[in-house]
Structures are given as C-alpha cells and as structure tokens.
Amino acid sequence: MNLQKLVYNFRDAIETAIENGESGTFFRKFPTGQCGHTSDMLAQYLIDNGFESIVYVNGTYYGDEWNDRWSHTWLVVNDQIIDITGDQFKYHQEPLKNNVPVYIGLKNKFYDLFEIHQSGKHKHFGLDCRWSNYYELEQCYEIIKKYLNDI
C-alpha cells in the first residue's frame, strides 16, 4: 500500500466522521490536543495495512516563557515523519506556528523545536487492550474505519 494515500485517507476519514457528528466528544477539538490518540489509531491503521516498523515520537517544545510549553506526538515510518495533527499549532506564533494538516517527510525545523525524551520514543505495536483508554480508542477507530475510502 502507498503510505501517502493511507495517511491522507485516514485524516480525511476523521474529518468526515466529525462532519457527520459520529466522533462524539473524542474529536470535538480535533486536531488540537489529539495528536497522541490520533497517532495511536493511525499506527493501528498502518499496521492493518502491512506496515511493521512504526515509531511513536512524543516531544516537548520549551519556549522562552515558563508557561510556553507544548507537547506534540507524531509517527515515524521508513525514516519519514507522519503527522496528521500538526495544524493544531496554526494559531501559535513563530517559531511554533504550523498550519500543515498532513505532513509526510523528513525532519524539518518545526520538529527540531521539540525535545524528545528517552521515554518519548518507542516502537508502536498498535492499539493495546491493556491501555486504560483502549476501548474508547477502539470505538473511535471503528467509527473512522467506516469512512476510509478503498484504496
């Protein structure tokens, strides 16, 4: 499967579910604050479509002010960053401003802003029933799957 098509298809499916009122409260502020959960579900979708080497990355941006701290999560597949929630930073000031809804590519100056801690980077194996929010994520993933276009 084509990675780019899968990733764009997943973002489109989320937006369609939201437009149809089927996402419930889970994505009520999408993409803001949803990067971790969205990355988890996207990882599962990529695994379901044959991708095996998926890395979950979470970093923190530390601005100049004590309260200017933001976290962000994305995936890395085949040495490419996969981020479908980067546009949650569209209203921020530079250097954190980012209005790109789907990014597939090499690390750039936006991702360089985030400090990655040792525990913030690990291989992703898909949705795990041992997670406390597994059932909520699984339900949301099932809704999203209804809107995925056949590729």
Q: What is the pLDDT of residue 150?
A: 60
pLDDT at 151 over 60: no
Q: What is the pLDDT of residue 63?
A: 87
- Work out the end-to-end distance of the chain between its first and last CA atoms, rounded to an integer number of angstroms: 8
| From 18-27, 28-37, 83-92, the region with the lowest mean pLDDT | 18-27
Quote the distance between the C-alpha of residue 4 and its chain's center: 14
Q: What is the pLDDT of residue 122?
A: 95
- Tens digits of per-residue pLDDT, 31-41? 999 999 999 99
In whole angstroms, give the CA distance from residue 118 to residue 54.
16
The pTM assigned to this predicted structure is 0.93
- Tens digits of per-residue pLDDT, 44-88? 999 999 999 999 999 999 988 888 899 999 999 999 999 999 999
Nearest residue to 99 via CA among 114, 83, 115: 83
Using CA of residue 151, residue 38, residue 58, residue 105, what is the dihedral sign? positive
